[in-house]
Amino acid sequence: MTRIPLHPVLFAMVPVLSMFAANPGQRHLNELPEALRIVVGVSLLMLLVVSAIYRDARKAALCVSAVMVILLAFDSLYAAIDHVGIGPWRPRHTRYAMLLVAYLAIMAWSVWLYRRKAVSGLTGFANMLALGSVLPPAIVIGMTNAPSTLDATVKAADPIVATRVTARPDIYYLVFDRYGDDETARKYGLENDIGDYLKGKGFYVPGASRSNYIKTVLSLSSSLNMEYLDEVVRGYERSANWTPVYGYLWRHRVGGFLRSQGYSYTHLGSWYYPTRENPQATRNINYYSAMPRKILQLVDSLGFSSLQEAVGSPWFNERLQNWHRVRRQVDDVVGLVRMPGPKFVLLHVLVPHPPYVFDRDGSYVTKAEEGKRSFADNYRNQTVAANAMIRRMVDAILRDSASPPVIIVQGDEGPYPPATARDTFDYRTASTAQLRIRSGILNAYHLPGVAPGVLYPRISPVNSFRVVFNTYFGTNLPLLPDRTIRHVSDMLPFAFDDITEQVGGAVHATNVDPR
């Protein structure tokens, strides 16, 4: 242990492992090797370069480890002393002063190492310290991501049978993450006109829609499988492991049925791992997906901010990346319209979801600019930008489609009210007002030829594709009760509680399966 300098590689792994361990069960383990490969590769590259300077691998390793520890721990140190002052006095430029101190410390350590002759004792100490830092998060990850039988329970599903295919329209499912309803918009100072625009384009816009769940992966798993998740997660109410339900989303029945009907399936994913791509898709489109989000979060720290700003590339800037990705996704939807059909296009776009990178006119908002504005301002501005995206896509789809298309524009959940975004927040303690914000969503349907009365004011996402398939493929899928369900917290995602009546909803009983 004293001769082989393993510590740079181990220290490089610590922040990635710690981030996964901080949200046990919410990260799919497939993400972990990608991130580890990058940080280990960077540490080895740094070691190679610095070794050429020192001509001593152990000295080089100690220098590299010091750089990693100081820069990666910078945010925590900064947070601890940012508000420290003398009496009422507070320093105005703490960040820059601390960065200067950090860089000077790295330089002083590097010079001291260069002059020192023997470092075997320091190498052994650094190895032990690094190993001690790696083990705790690794153990947490191992314990909270143990293999689960839940994934095996969701593979079987009743087949969807098409009996009378009246048309094979192109189908667009445009999901805007955390796009709330009109009531929510008004709470944040916006009189939203998107509903009037969509009605003018022939959409049915329900007046009282709510999400079925208040978390993206639960909501989309439900809407794309056209089922509630009660039976899927039965027996796992005390589990903190989200990842098995990811498999249910990846194998969603909507995509499987449409592929069986001769549809192509284009999946436009976000940085969010469960929707980044879909194995059923004919074509997955995602930008910058080669860089795991956890690496971007590391680079986004204050210690690397100067380098990040100097490079100015979306590959190393998550905010700028999200701005570019969303704009390119919208461009892609517009470009896909003229592609021969029949086609199913699923877009999951992370607006108005933070980070708030869009101003009202669609221009880029820096982190500093976002920080100067209130949550209401940022959410309102990004909603206005999202409206422009919706208008552009809908206009193009209606204008350029060879035959009347199906378009569903939908939010998967509402925004997080202040103080509810923590993983540990217990939704059983949420007020009715908070739950109405979390469950109120945009929901709009363009269904050419749909029978009168099939769409109704309280229709929820679980019934969206039941209506579509019944209308165009002659399926006999009964409409389910429109329920809104909360989970206890992100640490107990499958402990469900029906809050339909609390948030002002009502169960729609027409055509409900009597079973």
Q: What is the pLDDT of residue 2?
A: 56
Mean pLDDT, to the nearest integer, of 334-363? 95
Q: What is the pLDDT of residue 88?
A: 56
Q: Where are the alpha helices (DSSP H) in 277-317?
A: 293-299, 305-311
Q: Of 106, 105, 97, 65, nearest to 78 (Cα)?
A: 97
pLDDT at 78 over 70: no
Mean pLDDT, to the nearest integer, of 185-204? 96
pLDDT at 437 over 80: yes
Contacts of 331 (CB under 8 A, 6+ apart): none
- Cα 491-494-496 angle, rounded to 5 deg: 110
Residue 441, domain CATH: 3.40.720.10
Q: Are residues 343 and 452 in the same domain?
A: yes
With contact defined as beta carbons under 8 Å apart, do 205 and 199 qualify? Answer: yes
- Whether 266 is in a domain gets the answer yes
Instruction: Considering only residues 180 and 1, tell me which one the structure prediction assigns the higher pLDDT.
Output: 180
Q: What is the pLDDT of residue 91?
A: 54
CB atoms within 10 A of CB 290: 9
Q: Are residues 112 and 194 in the same domain?
A: no
Contacts of 88 (CB under 8 A, 6+ apart): none
Percent of the chain with pLDDT over 90: 53
- Whether 348 is in a domain gets the answer yes
Half-sphere exposure of 70 (CA within 13 A, CB side): 19
Answer whether the bond into residue 136 is a cis peptide, omega within 30°: no
- Whether 157 is in a domain gets the answer no
Q: Are residues 420 and 375 in the same domain?
A: yes
Q: What is the Cα gyration radius of the chain? A: 26
Instruction: Considering only residues 459 and 14, tell me which one the structure prediction assigns the higher pLDDT.
Output: 459
Q: What is the pLDDT of residue 25?
A: 66
Q: What is the pLDDT of residue 507?
A: 46
With contact defined as beta carbons under 8 Å apart, do 384 and 406 qualify? Answer: no
CA dist., res. 242 & res. 221, Å (int) = 12
Q: Which two tokens stand for residue 168?
A: 């094979």
- Cα 22-26-29 angle, rounded to 5 deg: 95
Q: What is the pLDDT of residue 152?
A: 41
Instruction: Considering only residues 166 and 386, tell me which one the structure prediction assigns the higher pLDDT.
Output: 386
Q: Are residues 81 and 204 in the same domain?
A: no
Q: What is the pLDDT of residue 344?
A: 98
Residue 52's domain comprises 7-144
Q: What is the pLDDT of residue 239?
A: 84
Q: Are residues 56 and 191 in the same domain?
A: no
Burial class (CB in 10 A: 0-12, 13-18, 19+), 222: buried
Q: Of 256, 270, 92, nearest to 174 (Cα)?
A: 270
- Whether 89 is in a domain gets the answer yes
Grouping H, G, I as helix, E, B as strand and the rest as coil, residue 490 is coil
- Whether 83 is in a domain gets the answer yes
pLDDT at 86 over 70: no
Instruction: Considering only residues 233 and 288, tell me which one the structure prediction assigns the higher pLDDT.
Output: 233
CA distances from 425 to 127, 184, 242, 393 (A): 38, 20, 16, 36
pLDDT at 155 over 70: no
Torsion over CA: 416, 418, 424, 427 (sign): negative
Q: What is the pLDDT of residue 509?
A: 38
pLDDT at 511 over 50: no
Q: What is the pLDDT of residue 514?
A: 24
- Whether 177 is in a domain gets the answer yes
Instruction: Considering only residues 326 and 153, tell me which one the structure prediction assigns the higher pLDDT.
Output: 326
Mean pLDDT, to the nearest integer, of 144-162? 60
With contact defined as beta carbons under 8 Å apart, do 170 and 266 qualify? Answer: no
Q: What is the pLDDT of residue 488?
A: 95
Q: What is the pLDDT of residue 20?
A: 79
pLDDT at 16 over 70: yes
Lowest mean pLDDT among 38-47, 223-232, 506-515: 506-515
pLDDT at 126 over 60: yes
Q: What is the pLDDT of residue 145?
A: 61
Query: Tokens 């009109």 belong to which residue?
Result: 182
Q: Are residues 387 and 340 in the same domain?
A: yes
CA distances from 96 to 210, 271, 485 (A): 46, 31, 46
- Whether 511 is in a domain gets the answer no
Q: Which two tokens stand for residue 239?
A: 């589990």
Sequential DSSP letters for 42-91: HHHHHHHHHHHHHS-HHHHHHHHHHHHHHHHTHHHHHHHHTT--BTTB--
- Whether 464 is in a domain gets the answer yes
Q: Are residues 228 and 120 in the same domain?
A: no
Q: What is the pLDDT of residue 305?
A: 63
Mean pLDDT, to the nearest integer, of 385-406? 97
Mean pLDDT, to the nearest integer, of 27-50? 85
Distance of CA 295 to the CA centre of its chain: 15
Grouping H, G, I as helix, E, B as strand and the rest as coil, residue 410 is strand
Mean pLDDT, to the nearest integer, of 51-68? 89
Mean pLDDT, to the nearest integer, of 297-304? 65
Q: What is the pLDDT of residue 74?
A: 73
Q: Are residues 178 and 44 in the same domain?
A: no
Strand partners, 489: 492
Q: Are residues 105 and 43 in the same domain?
A: yes
Q: Are residues 468 and 334 in the same domain?
A: yes
**How many domains is the chain built from?**
2
Q: Are residues 178 and 315 in the same domain?
A: yes
487-505 per-residue burial string, b: 16 or more CB within 10 A, e: under 16:
bbbbbbbbbbeebbebbbb
Query: Tokens 């191992």 belong to which residue?
Result: 142
Q: Strand 283-285's sheet: what is its strand order?
A: 283-285, 264-268, 343-349, 171-176, 406-411, 443-446
Q: Are residues 108 and 203 in the same domain?
A: no
Lowest mean pLDDT among 53-62, 292-301, 420-429, 462-471: 292-301
Mean pLDDT, to the nearest integer, of 259-264? 96
Q: What is the pLDDT of residue 154?
A: 47
pLDDT at 76 over 50: yes
Mean pLDDT, to the nearest integer, of 375-397? 97
pLDDT at 471 over 90: yes
Average pLDDT of the chain, as a whole number? 86
Q: Of 514, 494, 410, 498, nearest to 459 (Cα)?
A: 410
